[in-house]
Amino acid sequence: MKKTHFLVSMLVLTIFNACRNNDENDNENPRKLESHTRTVNVTTHDGRPFSTGSGSVSGKFVSGPGGGVLMQGFYWDVPEGGIWWNVVKDKLTAWSDSGIGAVWLPPASKAQNGAYSMGYDPTDYYDFGNFNQNGSVETRFGSRTELEALITKAHAENMQVYADIVINHNSGGQSQANPFTGTNTWTDFSAIASGKFPRSYNDFYKNSYGNNDEGAFGGFPDLCHANPNVQDWLWGRDDSVGKYYKNVMKFDGWRFDYVKGFGPWVVNSWNSNVGGFSVGELWDSNVNTLEWWANNANSSVFDFAAYYKMDEAFDNGNLNVLNDDMMWKRNPYKAVTFVANHDTDIINNKMPAYAYILTHEGYPTIFYRDYEEWLNKEKLNNLIWIHNNKATGTTSILYTDNDEYIARRNGYNGNPGLVVYINNSTSWQERWVETNWSSKQMKDFTGHSSWYPTTQGDKWVKIQCPPNSYSIWSLNQ
């Protein structure tokens, strides 16, 4: 949920809108790294798919050892005019060829601000741009036909599509007398165009079920998940919101907005009844809170703990904080990592951050504007290829100081893994590190270093990293 773009009132709720060359590696006795080696006790390969292609090689997204990569297929205030579904559809082939396996779309149903709304003020969950209500037929993003064509194209590219689900609050209802407040409230959704999930004051707090749940947002009517009618319409009945999105619209998974506003049991119930991938937006940097929610929701969660640590590490010159706890270290199966999204974009030094999430465990997300507009797409495609092909196994942190960070992915099921070296300093750096390979030639798969070092019999090797950059090493095969 965009936290800073809403201006709401109780009457009208409107959204404002050179490489330094060394011919060969120096293989004298390694300088042992004292007490800097630490193994993160996390599980191995998460089983998500990967692409066989690099950024320059075409090929449908196929399953493999490295795990999946998610594209956030929008940003805040994407262009109006009903064009966005077609914009995304036209990019799917290139995204698939680059190794991206899923796309997360903005809230797809008609919202209170009609053709101008980003969708986070939902009115009619079953109007995907096919009913004339709230001032338009199409949503901001396009028509239902265009959305269905996008989803069909994504599936043809062997990509999944995740829907942004906003079920904490609603907007755009009519005024009605509310006996629980003694006033009129904007909670009459009996005349929605689709005729599905009609609501009244007893479907919102406060009501006969209580005064409130975990949290309201922005003055919007707060949907009451304790009401069996709400549960039935959200995930219970055959034409519930969840089952309609999955079985009729063919969405494959869910990004749940503002999950602080309701208990994790809500997402757990949805997942148990509907299925599909799910991730929650729990905006909290406390890893204990993230883990608690993920376990109780039976869902993945965005790794805000890692997000804020990356900002401190890469923008403030303190790579030591990457030793701190994060959700991906607790449970990589339930951690969705990210560098920016439509709500928050605080990391300035983004390429090392992407090198971090695309070489480490968890499910990495790429932000649309970073990929399509702001960063070097060739370098991002290179990192996606490395993630899909090399980023396997548990993680061992080998060395950290303020300016340098080195970690090893230990490989899985015959895949060798990798060693990632991030350097925040203004000069080239070199380190001896312990690999899992004896007497094997390595190379830097980013191309930032021209070294082709051979590991010693005891598996130690010297690697290098350019200033303000990263290198990623694996077997030369």
Give 1's pLDDT tier (boundaries 50, 70, 90). Answer: low
Chain centroid, CA 38 distance in Å = 27
Give 52's pLDDT tier (boundaries 50, 70, 90). Answer: very low
In a domain, 259, yes or no: yes
In a domain, 307, yes or no: yes
* Residue 15 clears pLDDT 50, i.e. is over it: no
CB 336 within 8 Å of CB 48: no
Residue ranges making up the domain that contains 262 = 6-17+52-391
How confident is the model over 125-146, as a mean pLDDT? 98
Cα–Cα dist 87/153, whole Å: 12
Residue 180 Cα distances to 171, 175, 222, 304, 467, angstroms: 19, 14, 14, 37, 63
Split into its structural domains, the chain has a count of: 1
Residue 428 burial (10 A CB sphere; 0-12, 13-18, 19+): middle
Q: In this predicted structure, what is the pLDDT of residue 127?
A: 98
The model's pLDDT over 273-326, given as tens digits with 9 standing for 90+, comes to 999 999 999 999 999 999 999 999 999 999 999 999 999 999 999 999 999 999
Give 63's pLDDT tier (boundaries 50, 70, 90). Answer: low
The model's pLDDT over 151-201, given as tens digits with 9 standing for 90+, comes to 999 999 999 999 999 999 999 999 999 999 999 999 999 999 999 999 999
Compute how many other C-beta atoms are within 10 angstroms of the C-beta atom of residue 202: 18
The model's pLDDT over 67-81, given as tens digits with 9 standing for 90+, comes to 899 999 999 999 999
CB 376 within 8 Å of CB 402: no
In a domain, 402, yes or no: no
In a domain, 128, yes or no: yes
In a domain, 27, yes or no: no
Q: What is the CATH number of the domain that holds 156?
A: 3.20.20.80
Q: By three-state DSSP, how is residue 358 classified?
A: coil
The model's pLDDT over 446-469, given as tens digits with 9 standing for 90+, comes to 999 999 999 999 999 999 999 999
Q: Which residue has the higher pLDDT, 306 or 65?
A: 306
Examine residue 3 and say whether the peptide bond preceding it is cis (omega within 30 degrees of 0): no
